[in-house]
Amino acid sequence: MAAGDLLSKIELISPSDFAKEKVRAIQEYSLLASQSLSNLFKRPLYMADILQQADLIGFGSLPIVLLTGFFTGAVLALNTAASLGRFGALSLIGQLVSISMVRELGPVLTGLMVAGRNSSGMASELGSMVVTEQIDAMRALGTDPTKKLVTPRVTATVFMLFFLTIISDLLGLIGGSMVATLLLGLDSHEYWSSTYQTLVFQDVFMGLIKPVIFGFIISTVGCYYGMSARGGTQGVGKATTEAVVASSVLIIGVDFFLTRLLIVLLGFR
């Protein structure tokens, strides 16, 4: 009887219904994402909400971004020291840390940290508003929930993640510098000279275009799962988990294709 009761509670879904559900979700997400961008050209802009979200997302994420960037650069320099030392190329640590942080590790790790902290927050906050019917009340009062709630979060996340990535890159270089000078005995001036000279326009452009894309993914995914939450508090918890997982996976997947595209467009050799 216990096994029968358990099977009766399991909801089975046909492959066609599953595919239709996923296609519908993609359509709803695409519509939400496009509306969040088009609302930037419509009045009112809700600047107060944008500034509030920028404070929550940007300054709220600053401590974890600082720690992540610093220790990533330090660990990167520490792990590569043994390999470079075999070839007498310890002086190249600065070049390796700078290229790795600016091109790849800085944007990706910062995006993942912000996704874990803010994408879940957006999903839980908006999901709670949905299940308590605050979104319906906003519509009844003639306020567009997408413009009032989604667009400020998307704008603030894209804007702040751009600068958080720059700060993370800088802290990564500082972490690598401390390892190179204090533990490996390298000259600090030589480290920073090689770090600066090895970077070219393509490296910096690639490192700064990624956080813009990642910020858009983080905010739109978090808002989508929040706005589509159903089933009370349990549904809000599920939406929060799904938002973090989906945004993190999308960041890693999009990073591969975006890197490949930029390598072709920018003419890396």
Contact 125/239 with Cβ under 8 angstroms? no
Whether pLDDT at 186 is above 90: no
Contact 207/169 with Cβ under 8 angstroms? yes
Q: Domain coordinates of the chain in residue numbers?
A: 46-266
Which residues have a Cβ under 8 Å from the Cβ of 28 and sit 6 or more positions away? 224, 228
Contact 217/250 with Cβ under 8 angstroms? yes
237: confidence class by pLDDT, cuts 50, 70, 90 = confident
Per-residue pLDDT tens for 217-233? 999 999 999 888 887 77
What's the CA gap between 54 and 153, in Å, rounded? Answer: 8
| Mean pLDDT score of the chain | 86
Which residues have a Cβ under 8 Å from the Cβ of 241 and sit 6 or more positions away? 120
Instruction: Please report how many Cα atoms fall inside a 13 Å half-sphere around the Cα of residue 178, on the Cβ side.
Output: 11
pTM for this entry: 0.88
Confidence (pLDDT) at 9: 47
Per-residue pLDDT tens for 197-212? 888 888 889 999 999 9
In degrees to the nearest 10, what's the CA dihedral of 12, 18, 22, 25? -60
Contact 186/91 with Cβ under 8 angstroms? yes
Which residues have a Cβ under 8 Å from the Cβ of 250 and sit 6 or more positions away? 217, 221
Instruction: Please report how many Cα atoms fall inside a 13 Å half-sphere around the Cα of residue 168, on the Cβ side.
Output: 34
> Per-residue DSSP letters for 47-79?
HHHHHHHHIIIIIHHHHHHHHHHHHHHHHHHHH
12: confidence class by pLDDT, cuts 50, 70, 90 = low
131: confidence class by pLDDT, cuts 50, 70, 90 = confident
Whether pLDDT at 168 is above 60: yes
What's the CA gap between 233 and 163, in Å, rounded? Answer: 34
